[in-house]
Each structure stands twice: as C-alpha cells, then as structure tokens.
Amino acid sequence: MNTKNPIYIIGPSCVQLQLAGDKHVVAILPAGKGDNGSFIITSEGKFNTLKGVRINGVGVTRYITELGYVPAPEGDSIAATLRDCIDMDVGRKMVEKASADHATRLQKLYGGSECAYVPFNPHHAIQRIKVSVDDGMGSCILGIGTGFTSACVRGDYSQGEDFVMTADLGTGWLVDPAVEPSGMPRSTDYGGVVELAVFAIVNSGVGTFIGPTSLQIDENAAVDTPYPRGKMVIGLTGSTDQVIVGIDAGDELSVEYVRDNKVIYQRNGLGYKGTTHLSLGVAIGSIAAVLARVAAIDAVATPKNARKAA
C-alpha cells in the first residue's frame, strides 16, 4: 500500500460511498498499483479494507473523486486516525514477516539439536524440543484468536520422549542449548498484553532488550517522569535506533521511535478509538506502528536512486 498517496474524506457535495447496511465510507486511502484493496474508516468509526482495485470497473481514486470525496486537509482528525490504523496494520505485518524469517534462521541454526522452549506464560512448564533439520519448509500458527500470525520452529517426534513438536515464537522462547532457560523473560500480571507484545516483537528478531525485560512501576518516580508505570526498550537489529515502549502517568501505552537520542515519531494508545477487542495482534500493531511510520518517513527522505544503489 502506497501510504504516500492522499487520504480522501467526504467533500461538501459528496455522494457517500455506501457499504453493507446503512454504513458508508468517511475516509479512504485508495488502492494503487500492486495493492489488493483500499483502507477505509466507516461511518461507525471502524477501520476496514475495501477489497479490489476497481469499483464498477473504474479505478478507486477516480471513482471516489467523481462521487465528491476530496483530499483530506492537513490536520484532519479522521484522516489521522486512518493513517494511524494503516501504520498499525503494516507494522503488525512487518513483525509477522520478521517472525517467519527468524524462524527460518533458527531452524537452520538449531536443526538436529535439543533446545529448551520457554513459554512466555510463567504458569506453563518449560519444555524440550528436538529441532528438525531444515528442509526448506516453514510453518506458522494463524492468529484467528490473537490477531497475530506467528512463525514456528518445527521439532521431531520421538516415541516415549517428552518433546514438543513446535516452538511457537509468538508465545515462547526457543533457547540455545548452552543457555540456562530459567533466565528467560516471562510475563507478569502487571505487564499484561503490552509485555506479551514486546516479547513477541523481540522474539521475531526485530530487536533485543536494552535494560528491563518487564514493565515495572517506579514507586519513586518524579512528577515529570515520562513513564512512571514502567518501560521496556528494544534496540533494533542492525541499527542503533531504539523503540521505547512505556506506560505513562495516565496508564496509557506510549511508544517512541528514537534515533540519535531524538524522538523521530511517537504514538499513544492500544489500538484506536474504534477498537472493540484488545488482542495480542492489536498490541503488537500499536507498538510496531512506529516502525511502519518511520520506514515510510525514511523512504521519502531517501532519494529513489540512492535506494536502488543500496
């Protein structure tokens, strides 16, 4: 999806694009070349995807402009919500892709070895897995209930042995045979879904922990402390950039993308105003949205010819 294209909103004399029932489109980022559909905000305030690249045989942009939709002005709140929702969607997919790539690396690295598998949930037992020799095949667990599709490292079946067949990277750590598994981070009641989301992001190979591996309240925090209710810092792989995931004084999620000690982009909140179900996927998207936005900022800032040369 080309997020550099303008978002369109209802114009002064617009014929609204109708959806099922009495709903209609209030904001839309039209599908462009290579896209599968358009991102929209409905009159119910919901984020959704309008499938296809044409409407009634006409390109989406042309169709909606003929209806009277107009490019959103700078600062428009509905357009800002749609852009944020797109960031969350793209960010979650970035982590899913990273998870698949990381699982492939781990399969090759540990194929034929016996490793420990440590569930994020501290109430679940640490298990063993005989990692299968890599055969070029990947596997994943569809996030029907969680909203996040995580990759798996496959194991061999051994009759009479207590080995798990898969190590789901979205719910636990695959631990090197030389590392003590009991020292791996495990979730806390306080950290909740935010903590689990950070674990899943780190476990996708996107980055590593810098400092605390759980959210911890600072009882002695000063009044102006940014994250008195705890923060976790992710150092991004192959970069000196960091993502700070914190809980502010209002008990809200706040995420900062930091480069050279400067905040490049920040967003707040789990999901968006229209979110009705808080899932792992929503939490991961809420955090990884800053990755998507900064990637888009970098793409605009980097000349096209320089990107090709790189």
| Tens digit of each residue's pLDDT (9 = 90 or more) over 93-137 | 999 999 999 999 999 999 999 999 999 999 999 999 999 998 888
> Using one digit for the tens of pLDDT, what is the confidence trace for 282-307?
999 999 999 999 999 998 877 665 55
**Which range among 3-7, 131-135, 270-274, 302-306 shows the weakest confidence by mean pLDDT?**
302-306
| pLDDT score of 277 | 85
- Cα-Cα-Cα-Cα dihedral sign, residues 68, 69, 75, 81: positive
| pLDDT score of 20 | 86
For residues 272 and 46, the answer to whether their CB atoms sit within 8 Å is: no
**265 to 33, 214, 242: CA distances (angstroms):** 28, 23, 11
DSSP-based helix, strand, coil % in the chain, nearest 5: 25, 30, 45
| pLDDT score of 310 | 47
| pLDDT score of 274 | 80
Q: The tokens 């929209």 sit on which residue? A: 40
DSSP class of residue 181? G
pTM strictly above 0.95: no
Q: Residue 52: pLDDT above 80?
A: yes
Query: Between these two residues, 22 and 95, which has the higher pLDDT value?
Result: 95
